[in-house]
Amino acid sequence: MHILHVVGARPNFVKAAPVVRAIEKIISARQTLVHTGQHYDQNMSDVFFSELGIPVPDVNLEVGSGTHAQQSASVMSALEPVLISQRPHMVLVYGDVNSTAAAALVCSKLPIPFAHVEAGLRSFDRTMPEEVNRVITDQLADFLFTPSEDADRNLLREGVPGSKIHRVGNVMIDSLVRFLPQATESSLNRIPHPYALVTLHRPSNVDDSADLERILKMLAAVGERLPVILPIHPRTRNRIAKSGVSLKNCKLLDPLPYLQFLTFQRYATVVITDSGGIQEETTFLGVPCLTLRKNTERPVTVDLGTNTLVGNDKDALVAEVEKILQGQGKRGSVPSLWDGHAAERIAKCLLGSLSRAYAS
């Protein structure tokens, strides 16, 4: 049996790593790792493979950056001949990046069965490219591995047969559980405590100069209450410099490797983000999270976890930070099946299905 994984961006690597390991233990299968190259520099890609213990990719499509259409088309045209030549019994795709939706389209037209890891998440905001990718991938997938009950409901409401849906838990938490013992406070490199950890990456927040300036002013207001740590892509760093907004209490860093970033999350007083995965990780860690969005595809982090949506409201952001500093921050719980064993459940499900298909 042959299982092929398609990954393209840092969140994919974190999700794929435990699945690759679980399949090695549970299924007698050859595994092939295809890296689309959607994230392609060392800090955004290579170092994640080495830290997470993922084998060097067997294939790197090296598609690079571009518009959504250009990047998706590049992945499709480069991936198709790989799948035709390798003819895997199953393809696994992860998350909601362009590489995921592109791979789903290629698999469905060849056709090759494929599974979507982290299926069913919905923000119900079709202006988000990630939401379009989620809907497309889920409608085409043969197996849908979901992290939470709300994801199951979303898929059933959209007409996905219940037999395709398998709630397994959150594979991103599998990686977190595995590496958390290594995330020790001694590696914070003299970062003052308390501090706010901030991440910004969504185009709606960083690509438009007016939107970015608004968010920077929000962070400057937070910086008046406690130091702000902001790992940022060099492209966004240049835009920050051009904005003219004073960030005297904000420390800008280059993008961090996985383990170091996990350490920063673990010991943060508050995390301020626009990332979906970080909403999940902070919920597991019990760290208050303030999300700079009006919606989230991970409502379980709001309903059960430590996440609060503050949108673009500076007053709301500062008020929530103040509550946290006063010891009144949101205290959440960990959702069901976020236990570090989601990948094992995926592997066991695939084993049963592939064994029946292979035998026939």
Catalytic residues: 201
Question: Going by DSSP bridges, is the β-strand pair 228-231/270-273 parallel, antiparallel, or unpaired?
Answer: unpaired
Distance from C-alpha of 117 to C-alpha of 90, rounded to nearest angstrom:
13
Distance from C-alpha of 27 to C-alpha of 208, rounded to nearest angstrom:
47
Distance from C-alpha of 321 to C-alpha of 269, rounded to nearest angstrom:
9
Strands (E) in 36-94, as ranges, are 59-60, 90-94
Sheet holding 250-253: strands in order across?
A: 250-253, 228-231, 196-199, 270-273, 289-291, 307-309
Angle at Cα 321 formed by Cα 315 and Cα 327, nearest 5°? 140
Residue 133 dihedral angles phi and psi, to the nearest 5°:
-60, -40
Tokens of 265: 């999350």
Give Cα 329 to chain centroid, integer Å.
Answer: 24
Give Cα 139 to chain centroid, integer Å.
Answer: 20
Distance from C-alpha of 52 to C-alpha of 7, rounded to nearest angstrom:
14
| Number of neighbouring beta carbons within 10 Å of residue 357 | 12
Task: Give me the numbers of helices (H) and strands (E) for the chain, helices first please.
Answer: 15, 13
Tokens of 321: 């930070």
Beta-bridge partners for 145:
117, 166
Asked if residues 266 and 287 have their Cβ atoms less than 8 Å apart, the reply is yes
Classified as helix, coil or strand, 146 is: strand
Classified as helix, coil or strand, 91 is: strand
Q: CA of 5: how far to CAs of 10, 34, 90, 115, 357, in Å?
A: 14, 6, 9, 10, 19
